Amino acid sequence: MCHIIALSLHLSSFKRLRASILARTLKKETAELKSYFKEIGLTLEATKNEKTGEPDIMLYLTAPQKRANKEEKETRERAKS
């Protein structure tokens, strides 16, 4: 099960995927899959499904970088040089 989840996230275009999509594919509930998500070490972010309005979970292989943090690092690098 962990291999299927990790492989589907790795093959996704932006290295992110909604938990509801995986739950439908694997014919399980999202709550049942949470232990697998934690075992793999995925980053979880609570979101809302735009189509149905129901709560959902966005899964990331790595933690998403905030735009402000990225800009902050760039300005620090410029200041050092």
Q: How many residues does the chain have?
A: 81
pLDDT at residue 67 tops 60? no
pTM of the model: 0.71
Q: Which position has the higher pLDDT, 45 or 77? A: 45
- The two three-digit tokens of residue 61, written as one number: 């292989």
Q: For position 69, what pLDDT does the model report?
A: 64
What dotted CATH number matches 2-80? 1.10.10
* Domain boundaries, given as residue ranges, for the chain: 2-80
pLDDT at residue 56 tops 70? yes
Reported as a pLDDT band with limits 50, 70 and 90, residue 62 is confident
DSSP string, 30-60: HHHHHHHHHHHT-EEEEEE-TTT--EEEEEE
pLDDT at residue 48 tops 70? yes
